[in-house]
Amino acid sequence: MALPLHHVERHRSERIGWLRAAVMGANDGIVSTASLVLGVAGAGATQGDVIVAGVAGLVAGAMSMAAGEYVSVSSQADTERADLAREREELATADEHERAELASIYVSRGLEPALAAQVADQLMAHDALGAHARDELGISDLQRARPVQAALASAGTFAFGAAMPLLCAALTPAPAIAPLVTGTSLLFLAVLGGLAARAGGAPATTGAVRVTFWGALAMAITYGVGRLFGAVV
């Protein structure tokens, strides 16, 4: 009997690594830069001062996102490497124990003990470390930490998000900066939240409302602080 053709499925969970970094970067870029622009504008600064502050915020934010994401994901990668090294040593010195351990995992998932032992034997014969990494440690190629990729994605998407309110501020007369940056930034956030939710398989409306609400709150508070500071000064 002919074997069935190999069926390849694409799952949304495959996007989780880059999607999280990209959405977080773009969202932070829009919210932080728009809030900074509104805060400075609320304090009565000139359009030139607003642009300078926005550009400084874009550069500093992108670098901060890249550094923070790299350090964070590198720590995760270090932990994964340490766990894999320990597992590799245990496989070399206690093969039978590791085989029984893997079989017990499959028993806990519903397999009969005899079948679980057979599955463990076959998987370890094929790739012992890979089997233990996946089923004992929860480490797979899909979820492996990639520091450089995460850092570049966060920095790039932050800069892209930050450029939107900054461009609006640069093309708008000073008296209209606050309302126009607020309106366009909330629109950008709604679109971003909707697209991110759709990419992850969630309702677009839910994602749009969630992102827009927190962005509006951040911008309102920062603008209020700027107005208060400007009035005091």
Task: State the pLDDT confidence band at 230, using cuts at 50, 70 and 90.
Answer: low
Q: What is the pLDDT of residue 133?
A: 80
Checking if the pLDDT of 108 tops 90, the result is no
The number of C-alpha atoms within 13 Å of 16 and in the hemisphere containing its C-beta is 10
How does residue 14 score in pLDDT terms, banded at 50, 70 and 90? Answer: very low
Task: Express as a percent the part of the chain with pLDDT over 70.
Answer: 86
The 10 Å Cβ neighbour count of residue 127 is: 11
Task: Check whether 204 has a pLDDT greater than 90.
Answer: no
Whole-model pTM: value is 0.69
**How would residue 197 be classed by pLDDT, with cut points 50, 70 and 90?**
confident
CA nearest to 142, candidates 11, 7, 44: 11
Q: What distance, in Å, lies between the first and last C-alpha atoms of the chain?
A: 85
Which phi-psi region, left, alpha or beta, contains residue 5 (left: φ > 0; alpha: ψ -120 to 50)?
beta
What residue has token string 């390849």?
Answer: 8
Check whether 232 has a pLDDT greater than 50. no
Is 60 exceeded by the pLDDT of residue 3?
no
Among 22, 46, 19, 25, which residue's Cα sits nearest to residue 162?
A: 25
